[in-house]
Copies of this chain bind each other. A is one copy, B any other.
Amino acid sequence: MSAIALRGADIRAQARSGLLAGPTCGLAPDYLQANLVVVPEDLAFDFLRFCQRNPKPCPILDVTEPGSWEPRQVAPGADVRTDVPRYRVYRRGALAEEPTDISRLWRKDLVAFLLGCSFSFEAAMQRAGLPVRHLEQRCNVPMFRTNLPCTPVGPFRGPLVVTMRPLTPSQAIEAVVITSRYPQAHGAPVHFGDPGAIGISDLTQPDFGDVVTVRAGEVPVFWACGVTPQAVLMEAKPEFAITHSPGCMFVTDRLAEDVC
């Protein structure tokens, strides 16, 4: 079976069996991939409202019933405890472990959030012949904290984190049109051009991820990033939380081209 024919369920099965314990970038590219955030029920309502009020960094794909590990809307029958290649477990805001299965850690009060990620729109950019520099350079996308505050809710507050992809102006215009069609994957950019206008002092010093080359004639284009809710969650230092490990996403059954 070629990589292009794989379905979301195939990738989840590989993760569940332990065959896949690394990044899902480029796997089953037709299917929406998702950031995973798991928090106890006493934080879940505030976190859900935070996502709802900050939809560009936190597009909500699914929220489980308290105690349930099944994301019924986007992957009926799946299990968020086993179907992500690798997890990060946080205790009081500090990274505690990076297991490939969280079944033994599951609790009756946990709620799982699946939030859209940029892999889907990057596939669409590539289909349109647009460059995605960090994929060309085989590294992680550069991410930056901005001075744009998210709308705070309860204990959740902090700056918008953005990804950066360099493009020429005409490519950037095409990328805006294309990515605006994927609101469930962060949608259109939030800024282009002068990094200082959104509080980024140095493009060669990303806060997360890797440095990519900005060529002559290109401008940096910035999209809202799914690291935003994770950074906000860590700042709130919850007693217990679980996320996916960077790049190791939950792959849904929903096609990126579906109009939700």
**Which A residues form the contact surface with B (CB < 8 A)?**
169-170, 172-174, 176-177, 180, 188-194, 197, 217, 219
Contact = CB atoms under 8 A, between A and B. Distances in A.
Query: Secondary structure at chain A's binding surface: helix, strand, loop or mixed?
Result: mixed
Contacts of A177: 176-177, 180, 188
Contacts of A169: 191-194, 197
22 contacts: A169-B191, A169-B192, A169-B194, A169-B197, A170-B190, A170-B191, A172-B192, A173-B188, A173-B190, A173-B191, A173-B192, A176-B176, A176-B177, A176-B180, A177-B177, A177-B180, A177-B188, A180-B180, A192-B192, A193-B193, A193-B219, A197-B217
A189 B190 CA distance: 17
Contacts of A192: 169, 172-173, 192
Nearest to A187: B177
A191 B191 CA distance: 15
A173 to B, nearest CB: 5
Nearest to A190: B170
A192 B190 CA distance: 15
Contacts of A172: 192
Nearest to A174: B188
Given A169-B192, A169-B194, A174-B188, 11 more contacts: A170-B190, A170-B191, A173-B189, A173-B190, A173-B192, A176-B176, A176-B177, A176-B180, A176-B188, A177-B180, A177-B188
Nearest to A193: B169
A128 to B, nearest CB: 13
A169 B162 CA distance: 15
Q: Which of A172, A190, A217 has the most CB of B within 10 A?
A: A172
